């Protein structure tokens, strides 16, 4: 079965995940260079000052990429600033091995034998579709498996998730061509009043060809009958949807983790 999917929001990539100690150091440096204090940064980004202080004092990990993206925009640095590391860039394979992450290509039996203590997320095949910013995900075509050591599994990651590569530029600079993303599907659609605008969601919408596709977007509730789908790339117009119309929108899941190849 092929599922149309619009790509937009946080990148998941091959063999990189956030190293919290590195992020803490880089965040402190970026704050110092910006001339802002912690209170001002918290106000401008909408983050609680107490939470930000805990991150800076190494009492809490910053593991929400949407928040990290907000901070990067406020401080005037790219999101890549927090990922870039000379040791990683020079030896990505060693870094991935150290972090217990691998992409496996082979059959399921061999996978289970080789990675008995890993969380294994299917990596579905993806391709660009005719509609701009929409891609197709083939849930019956598994290109490989993202294998994560049980010791390093981030919050919310489980084998219920699935992964795929980004196609298109509608979510740049957050997501880029060939980034990979992990989505946690919902068992039931969430209530709109629980939606967080900074998060990225997998939504089912019209594909403009008389059918329906899936899209990754920020979701913002305008009023009781209207929601707006927002891309990070300002070259793409926001899409307003009348949710009182039958089958106009269904929120299928949430983007929860990213990898980016440096």
pTM over 0.85: no
Same domain, residue pair 32 and 149:
no
Number of domains in the chain: 2
Query: Of 10, 5, 16, which Cα lies nearest the Cα of 198?
Result: 10
Are residues 100 and 158 both part of a single domain? yes
State how far Cα 131 lies from the chain centre: 21
Nearest 5 degrees, angle CA 89-CA 177-CA 70?
75
Range of the domain at 121: 1-16+89-262
Q: Let me know whether 140 and 207 are in one domain.
A: yes
Q: What is the pLDDT of residues 103-118, one digit of tens each?
A: 898 888 889 899 988 8
Q: Region 117-139: what's the mean pLDDT?
A: 75
CA 52 vs CA 34, 45, 75, 199: distances in Å: 16, 10, 14, 18
Do 60 and 8 lie in a common domain? no
- What does the pLDDT read at residue 35? 87
Check which CATH number belongs to the domain holding 73 and give it. Answer: 1.10.260.40
The average pLDDT across 221-236 equals: 91
Distance CA 120, CA 110 (A): 12
Final residue in a domain of this structure, among 37, 64, 82: 82
Instruction: Give the pLDDT confidence of 138-176 residue by residue, as tens digits.
Output: 767 888 998 888 776 666 677 889 888 887 788 887 878
Position of tokens 């990539």?
13
Task: State whether 197 and 157 are in the same domain.
Answer: yes
Whether residues 146 and 209 share a domain: the answer is: yes
Domain boundary among 82, 99, 119: 82
Identify which of 78-92, 147-161, 218-232 has the greatest average pLDDT: 218-232
CA distances, 198 to each of 30, 66, 122, 217 (Å): 21, 6, 26, 10
pLDDT at 132: 63
| CATH number of the domain within which 158 lies | 2.10.109.10
Which one of 82, 105, 127 terminates a domain?
82
* pLDDT above 90: percentage of residues in the chain: 11
pLDDT at position 230, please? 92
C-alpha–C-alpha distance, residues 19 and 37, integer Å? 23
Same domain flag for 106 and 228: yes
Is 59 found in the same domain as 6?
no
pLDDT of residue 210: 73
Regarding whether 197 and 179 lie in a shared domain, the answer is yes
Closest residue by Cα to residue 125 from 107, 139, 145: 139
| 147 DSSP β-pair partners | 102, 120
One domain, residues 73 and 127: no
For the chain, the average pLDDT equals 76
Whether residue 60 sits in one domain with residue 107:
no
Helix H or strand E encompassing 215: strand 212-223
- 31 and 95 inside one domain: no
């Amino acid at each position: 079965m092929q599922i149309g999917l619009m790509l937009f929001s946080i990148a998941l990539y091959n063999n990189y995940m956030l190293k919290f100690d590195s992020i803490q150091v880089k965040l402190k440096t970026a704050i110092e260079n910006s001339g802002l204090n912690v209170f001002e940064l918290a106000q401008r980004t909408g983050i609680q000052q107490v939470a930000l202080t805990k991150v800076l004092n190494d009492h809490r990990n910053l593991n929400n990429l949407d928040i990290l993206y907000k901070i990067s925009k406020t401080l005037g640095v790219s999101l890549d600033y927090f990922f870039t590391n000379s040791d990683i860039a020079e030896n990505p394979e060693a870094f991935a091995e150290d972090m217990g992450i691998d992409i496996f290509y082979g059959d399921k039996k061999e996978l289970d034998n080789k990675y008995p203590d890993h969380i294994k997320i299917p990596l579905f095949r993806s391709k660009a579709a005719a509609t701009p910013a929409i891609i197709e995900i083939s849930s019956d075509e598994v290109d490989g498996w993202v294998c994560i050591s049980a010791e390093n599994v981030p919050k919310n990651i489980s084998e219920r998730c699935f992964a795929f590569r980004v196609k298109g530029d509608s979510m740049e600079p957050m997501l880029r061509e060939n980034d990979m993303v992990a989505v946690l599907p919902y068992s039931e659609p969430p209530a709109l009043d629980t939606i967080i605008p900074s998060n990225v969601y997998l939504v089912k919408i019209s594909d403009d060809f008389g059918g329906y596709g899936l899209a990754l977007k920020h979701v913002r509730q305008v009023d009781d009958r209207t929601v707006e789908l927002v891309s990070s790339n300002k070259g793409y117009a926001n899409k307003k949807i009348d949710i009182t119309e039958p089958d106009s929108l269904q929120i299928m899941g949430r983007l929860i983790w990213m990898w980016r190849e440096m």
